[in-house]
Structure 1
Amino acid sequence: GYHCDLDINECASQPCQNNGTCLDKVDHYLCDCSQGFKGINCEVDIDECEAQPCQNGATCRDHVATYSCYEGENCEVDVNECEQQPCENGGECFQRSDVRNYRVLPELSTSNFSYEKAAGFICHCLPGFTGDNCSVNVDECESAPCQHGGSCQDLVNSYQCVCPDGFTPTSREVDINACDSSPCQNGATCEDAANSYRCRCPVPGRGEEPWGGQDCDVRLVGCRRHQCQHEGRCVPLLTGDSEHSYICSCLPGWAGDRCNTSTTFSFTTEGSLLAKVKSGKILQAIYPGLVNDGEWYQVTVTMDERLVLAVKGPGCEDGCHVKNEGQNTLIFLNQNYFQQLYVGGAPQEYLALSSSGKGFIGCMEDLKVDHKLLLPQDLIREENKGLELGCYKHDWCQDDPCSQHGECVDMWVRNSCECRRPYYGERCEKEYQSWTFSHENTSSYTSFNISKSHGENFTISFMMRSLKPNGLLLQFHREGKSYLSVYLKEGTVAMYSPHTTLLSEAKSVTDGDYHLVTIRVNYGHVVFPKAGNNRALGNVSVETGDVVLVGGLPEGNSVNAWGGSFKGCLQDIRLDDTQLMVGDVSEGLEVYRGRSEKVLQGCQSDDTCGRCVELKDGYECLTDALFQDNALQYSANSSLLDPVTNITMAIRTRDENGILLSASGKAGIFCLGILNSSLLIKLDSGPGEELLAFTSDRTISDGAWHQIQLSMVDPAVSVSRWRLT
């Protein structure tokens, strides 16, 4: 400083390594090393095995700040490291392998017992001694506490001043706390150290410059004109000559003194990344989550006694760690083990050993090997094909390449379409052929020969559309006998085998719309995925030579047990991933070719109207209709201009019970039917209204024609009585 009033902070450059604490002195610094390290800058890892502490033939293995003795063929013997009394000067020894010390000793207060950390010992030193084994006598004279030229004599946990004539020591044994003089200013926190102290400067307020210096008494103004780029954070500091300066803390993807060097690069060739280390045996750690969602993930791979994979990103914000399975002994790696480093891929002879056989596609940044940053500029060579600076990516799903028939997946260098059934193709531009069964109540079916075994674990799936609540969908045969039937029962999908009873999915699929039906058979159990049912089916397997009949059975075989033949449309029928198809087959599809009987191509409805007359409020069919379990469904679709006030029909039947007409809309329900040969009317106007029900005074199930009229007494008003004639 101008008046030589600023003490240069020699610790500003952080010279102490391996978590050593730097003690700033006048014109020099001292490093208070953490356990296990020594040297001027704590750069030397102390070899605790050098003194050969293990006896009786036990093997010594060096660790940081400790060692472990292994004895026994399978390391089953717990060596007592405290038996040789390693703690000097009256220090008390505790074994790390003693589970009673965990959650009790301060050093083990937050740790759980594990064999990985069970080696070594902990020394609790008497006051005045320090070090891993309490061998160091703390020099209380180092701070020169004796004044007026007195000489200091170091004692255990104290000191003694020998004063010159005319002076008397105030105390012969003094335990000095450097923080007693309150050296830290501006709200800083003082921490007493060995013959020194450390000031923890307060966090600056919003818009304020922080305090610095030995006593937190200097405003750090080095960031006023900083040049940190790309949103790098400026950290002010004092240099060794008390000059104000700063360093830049860079965001991911940037490095350099001013955060102006990009560390981001990308690969544009197909592939994935696989890393393995071999030393006696192969170690492998696999992260179970997906990381191909286009988001950034921080990945760290370290190896000591185990291969450890750490992933930090979406779903693992605090970091997820995966270790290779099993308990491994220490792996000492020769420097020649890693002669070459491949990034993003490897030569084909190495890629062939990986599960995918491909290289990595995507972006990387901040690549560090042994804590040394590798810049992409250093990686670019002529032989490194596909490596580009930066991370530039095209949105391959922007223009809906899947024709609105599937979900687009951005594969980084191209798109991929996951097509919704029944569509397929690279852009979901193709549709599997649909087929109509029992058109105009004809008997129809298709037959397929199974040419490969599907075993006891198989999936049946298909698209269907029907209004008929009962009917046979598929039936599996072996040697002329059926062993598995899939059919409709009261609008839901059911299964039956000779080994068990009915299994039904509790969801109606006979509403006239297309439904995807999926049934999984897994070693004797049936799963309807939509309903979540999982029930025992018995021993059922699909084998080579079996026959699958779809939609019905050949002539001469009864389908009454299944509610008749299926009436409706089927499409995209699959047994596992193999298509059951009739007619022309597209290239590249795995199919079972079948033959059909009276099955129509496309999805076609019956001609329910012999002659259709269009009216202003809908249409009218001029025909005599014969109803035999083939109900008709009509939808107004908001085409009615006025409410219905009059219903007429002519019927002829001998059935004593049945539904003639049922209509519903919003909350209201109307039903006209036959109950015990009489007409039955039910009217429900919605919540809060009384359900009205009444019958006719005469029977009509006599085989003769009857004209029926149901009308409002006064259609001009919103609420009126109804009359049945």
Structure 2
Amino acid sequence: MLPQTKTFQFIPKYKYLLTVFIFVRKPRLVFSGSCLHGKCKFTSQGTFCECENGFKGILCNESVEHKDPCKVYNCNKGKCENKSGVATCVCPEGFIGEFCENIDACASKPCRNGGQCSSIGIDGSEFICLCANGFSGLQCEVDESRADCGGGCAVDEICLTISGEQKCTKATLSCDQCVNSLRCVERDHSQLMCICDSGWEGAKCDHPFEGCMNVTCAPNEVCHAERNKADVKAQCRCAPGRRGGNCSTTTAATFKANSFFLHQSGNLMIGSSLAPYSLKFSFRTALRSTHIVTAENILNQMQFIVELRDGLLYANFSTVTAFPVVPFELNDDRWYTVHIKNAYKRISVELYVDDFLVKSYLVDEKKNMGIFWTRFGKDRDVNFRGCLRDVEINDEAIDLINSRRSIAIKEGCHRERQCSPNPCQNNGMCVDEWDAFVCDCIRPFLPPYCIQKLSEVTLGHDNISSRIEFTTNIDANLVKFDTDISLLVRTNKRDGALLYIGEKEVNASLF
């Protein structure tokens, strides 16, 4: 090291002289071609070796001991290869992705009649078929070109060949087409979805599904059937809100304004944000706007918030603008399930109605959040009033009732409808706020029950000057920015002063 001296002069309010010593390392000179594991670099100060990964020294002739990156790199079912200190996953057939985490749904070649398959979905387990001309359907199984229904189709129908049979089918799906359906939901602004009754399946819920017909389940259990190609697998499992060996334990919990639950992740090390995270829960509420859950890292920095705004479910992530998950309101006193997953620098949000996946959303933020705290219910100046059940964090069932970090949470989902019968009088509208109600009264009636009203008065009777005066001690500057005045007026005069806001001393002749 050779010290070089430079002098800087600053001229602020007071004058100082500052001397800074800068140490410059001069490169060791080497001969061209003598770098054993590196490249020879030529500079104005001489020639030196730039070593490859894993080597050091003047001539790059010394090995560097380093950890195998494959020891901490998860390739799932793939094989990890160390290429010059960089871990790379070699995926087996049927898997794709940087970590071999995505299932190649196109490996089984599901698209028929020359259709091209493309893997989609958050984990690559779904596919979409790009059909050749004249074919349509999920797997290009519908032949549109050779269909002949004998001219018997209605105006809004088209003739299609489906599995070799000619059928008249409506060109588009609307909620009116749902046959044996609990409800119809809007997946986005262009797609509708029929939620089928038990024993029915299909886009319109018009195909009988007999998977659970001959299955008898024990108390607190329900039959769940899955179709795998042509086979149907039915099994009994705990009903929603139940768990345990005999499904005898309830997972449902009631939250009030002061209820609170805090979970601390145990698989996150200080200074690390690589741990995967998953959160799954079902909620039920009648509030139009309410906080549900917040997640933070170990530094108490917010990573995401799930909440209702005007009935819409919003997911708000740290660096992504809050967005509504689905375009319909979820404060209708029904159960909805939210599933948030974060792994391999991917963040996804899924919404389920019963067992139906309504929306799957991949967040435009590539990182591992490193969630340490998960908070349900009251958080600073917000809270949740409603019910939660089947909460799972990192695939672990969470006990909301008996946890040491639970406050004012009641076991079971307890709910009394607040607006049936309507407590609001004189045609007032009742707003259900889960454990309370608010009356939206028609003027001149007043809350809380739209029974009382302010007295009516007459001004200017027999042309006598009169006025009503209210004074306030509030600072005038505050009145400028926050004043709400409303009133009902009835008159037959074309001209006249109605309202004055200002100083107390005013010319009485105005009134």
The TM-score with structure 2 as length reference comes to 0.42
Query: Which is higher, the Rg of structure 1 or of structure 2?
Result: 1
